[in-house]
Amino acid sequence: MSKSNKRGRQRWTRRKFLSHVGMVGGAAALYETMVAMNLVHIPDQNSGPIQFQPGRGAGQSVVILGAGIGGLTTAYLMHKEGYEVTILESSNRLGGRSLTGRKGDKVVENHPTEGKIVSTVNIDEDQYINLGPGRLPYHHRRVLRYCKELGVQLEPYIMNTTGNLFQTEKAFDGKPVVYREIQNDTRGYIAELLAKVTNQGALDQELNAEDREKLLGLLQQFGSLAAQPNKYGSRTDYIYEGSTRDGCADDPDGQPTPNVYYNCQNPKDLVLNDLLEAEFWDHRFYSPMEFEWQATLFQPVGGMDMIVKGFERALEGKVKILKNAPVNGIEVTDRNVTVRYGRQGKVTADFCVSNIPCPILHRIKNNFTKDFAKAVQRTTFDPSCKVGWQAEERFWEDNENEIYGGISWTDDQIEQIWYPSNGYFSKKGTLTGAYMHDENAARFGKLPVKERLAQAKKGAAKLHKEFLNDRIVPTDKGITIAWQYVEHQEGAWPSWVGNQHDQQDYQRILLPDRRFYIVGDQASTLPGWQEGAMMSAEHVFDLIRGEKEAVVPEAVMAPNTKRVVQGIRATY
């Protein structure tokens, strides 16, 4: 190892490394890194039951605004501590953005040009489609714990398979390419190029002779490179010539391999120029490698709303739940909070916990302190759209595709297709035929519902031609949702994008305005995840019962929404 390299490594202190992790990935990435380095002890409450004192809340009351996951978790916790709990829910159902579409369900949007739109889910009674959250990472210990406590059965959710597809009009003649071919051929070419520059001495200042040989050995295995003596006989060249990591090609007679005559044959590798032209890395191709999506993931058996139903069972007869009770006034004092709802409804409680999305909360008449009101007003939400389809045939599982779960990606506006992680080999199934973010979601959501379905079919057909066959994928069994227009929601998740006030606003909504508190993923380091909503509920629960000091450390940063929600390495 050269002296210059030693000096370079010494400059990277642990503090400097963690500082850069925080700048790039935000608070969530910093916390995860510190946990991995054993610098932070994960509190017991993240992996085990909370220790309750059932009588501590006796004689005190709390009113919870909104029955999303954050509100339901808060109600569950407060009741166990002995508080008298009332939930005011503005819609006719519980769950908020945790929405599973079943036959006959309604999706209500307040569209900017079409007015009020009511779409009816028309899939078969034995089918469902998750229109909100659809997966639970293994390291989201709270949500897994609550599922266990509530009796919610889980099964594996497949985030990625090597048989999934990527499609772009920029390369590959516009045809979809199997994920593993892109992944492994890219790795092979990168390894070959790095091996070449290593052999040419370009890294001699960075590596001594021993390290250089170790690196070449690593690259040979990493990229599946073939080794051969170079023409001068001085060093070994490492060349990428394709690999059975991509799959198996046909034998000389055109028959699939392996067979009794031939082993698995190396398929033809993709051309490097095509891989570069595809720019696949800009379309969430590597999202499955981000911590939030690494295996193993889970999903509730029968639909994500099983978690909501679990809370309903646990709260039934113990907590007062009022549906169709929109809040229209909030008055906070140092002693209590009075909430007005509906036409003449009114409730006063010792504490108030709001699960209402901040873009809606700030429009409700209130007497918040100036700094709290400003933080609520500036906490905005991002758009997101989904399209769900019922397919009468599971064509993605046929001999041509061999896809069993996971996600296919495209640079079309639909962005991705999710395949079901259950019901394998059955006759039919449901797919998330589009999941859009940011500008794609904004443009798509402005379209009338009929046009949304038409465009979603057209985009999905670039990956699977069966989408254009109405017998296989019936248009009348499609359902579309634009979360930015959904009644009582007006967005998919909080938009922490690095604006100059984000850190200040995030820190402010983590603390109460006198006896008024905010929960939900909007007040957590995991926007867009149910774990974040539960995390915030536990935070507020501990604040109210005095288990946590009402102080936010100065180093706390707003989360990087694009990384946490989309797996995009956006930086502030």
Same structural domain for residues 198 and 222? yes
Distance (Å, rounded) from C-alpha 302 to C-alpha 153? 9
| Sole residue written with tokens 């800009």 | 282
Predicted confidence (pLDDT) per residue in 454-482, tens digit? 999 999 999 999 999 999 999 999 999 99
Report how far residue 420's alpha carbon sits from residue 429's, in angstroms, rounded to the nearest whole number.
7
CB 503 within 8 A of CB 378: no
Is residue 508 a contact partner of residue 372, using CB atoms and an 8 Å limit? Answer: yes
User: For 244, which DSSP code?
Assistant: G
Q: Do 80 and 106 lie in a common domain?
A: no
Confirm whether 543 is domain-assigned. Answer: yes
Distance CA 251, CA 249 (A): 7
Distances (CA, A) of 387 to 47, 234, 252, 426, 466: 35, 59, 43, 22, 16
Q: Which residues constitute the domain of residue 207? A: 180-278
One-letter amino acid for residue 295 of the chain: A
Evaluate whether residue 427 is within a structural domain. yes
> Which residue matches tokens 């906490």?
379
pLDDT grade for 4, boundaries at 50, 70 and 90: very low
Instruction: Report the pLDDT value the prediction gives residue 491, as an integer from 0 to 100.
Output: 98
Distance CA 206, CA 6 (A): 9
Domain count, the chain: 4
Q: Which residues pair with 88 in a beta bridge?
A: 65, 322
Query: Quick one: average pLDDT of 21-50?
Result: 52
- Residue 529 inside a domain? The answer is yes
Q: Tell whether 465 and 388 lie within a shared domain.
A: yes
Residue 498 pLDDT class (50, 70, 90 cuts): confident
DSSP-derived letter for residue 183 is H
For 558, half-sphere exposure in the C-beta direction (CA atoms, 13 angstrom radius) is 25
Q: How do residues 113-149 score in pLDDT, each as one tens digit? A: 999 999 999 999 999 999 999 999 999 999 999 999 9
At residue 57, the pLDDT reads 94
Summarised one tens digit per residue, pLDDT across range 196-226 is 999 999 999 999 999 999 999 999 999 999 9
pLDDT value at 3 more than 50:
no
116/485 Cα distance (integer angstroms): 9
CATH code for the domain of 213: 1.20.1440.240
Query: Is 556 among the domain residues?
Result: no
User: How far is residue 432's CA from residue 285's CA, in Å, rounded to a whole number?
Assistant: 17
When pLDDT is averaged across residues 31-41 and rounded to a whole number, the result is: 51
For 283-299, what is each residue's pLDDT tens digit? 999 999 999 999 999 99
Pairing of strands 320-322, 327-332: unpaired
Percentage of the chain exceeding pLDDT 90 = 87
Contact 167, 408 (CB under 8 A): yes
Q: Is position 558 within any domain? A: no
Residue 572 pLDDT class (50, 70, 90 cuts): very low
Radius of gyration of the chain (CA): 27
Does the structure show a pLDDT above 60 at 46?
no
- Residue 361 confidence (pLDDT): 98
From the list 432, 164, 138, 424, the residue with the least C-alpha distance to 299 is: 138
Residue 3 backbone dihedrals phi, psi, to 5 degrees: -65, -40
Residues 405, 465, single domain; the answer is yes
pTM of the model: 0.89
Using DSSP bridges, classify how beta strands 365-366 and 327-332 pair: parallel, antiparallel or unpaired.
Answer: parallel
Cα dihedral 294→297→303→305 (10° resolution): -80
DSSP 8-state symbol, 561: H
Query: Does the pLDDT at position 30 exceed 80?
Result: no
Is 174 domain-assigned?
no
pLDDT beyond 70 at 49: yes
Stretch 6-10: mean pLDDT: 41
DSSP 474: -
CA distance 533 to 545: 19
Classify residue 471 as exposed, middle or buried by CB count within 10 Å of its CB (0-12, 13-18, 19+). Answer: exposed
> Is 389:478 a contact under the CB 8 Å cutoff?
yes
What is the rounded CA–CA span in Å between residue 179 and residue 113? 39
- Is 345 in the same domain as 417? no
The burial of 291, by beta-carbon neighbours within 10 Å (0-12 exposed, 13-18 middle, 19 or more buried), is given as middle
Q: Is residue 210, in this structure, part of any structural domain at all? A: yes
Tally helices (H) and strands (E) across the chain. Answer: 15, 27
568 belongs to a structural domain: no
Q: Are residues 244 and 264 in the same domain?
A: yes
At residue 382, the pLDDT reads 98
Q: pLDDT per residue over 338-395, tens digit each?
A: 999 999 999 999 999 999 999 999 999 999 999 999 999 999 999 999 999 999 999 9
Q: Are residues 351 and 440 located together in one domain of the fold?
A: no
pLDDT tens, residue by residue, 150-198 = 999 999 999 999 999 999 999 999 999 999 999 999 999 999 999 999 9
The amino acid present at 177, given as its one-letter code, is V
Render 398-435 in DSSP notation, one character per residue: STTT---SSEEEESSTT-EEEPPSS-TTSS-EEEEEEE
Residue that wins the pLDDT comparison between 509 and 31: 509
Work out the mean pLDDT of the chain and round it to a whole number. Answer: 92
Coil, strand, or helix at residue 249? strand
Question: Does 7 score more than 50 pLDDT?
Answer: no
CATH of the domain at 427: 3.90.660.10
pLDDT confidence of 510, banded at 50, 70, 90?
very high
Chain segment 295-345, per-residue pLDDT in tens: 999 999 999 999 999 999 999 999 999 999 999 999 999 999 999 999 999
The last residue of a domain, from among 438, 466, 485: 485
* CATH number for position 330: 3.50.50.60
Residue 2 has pLDDT above 90, yes or no: no
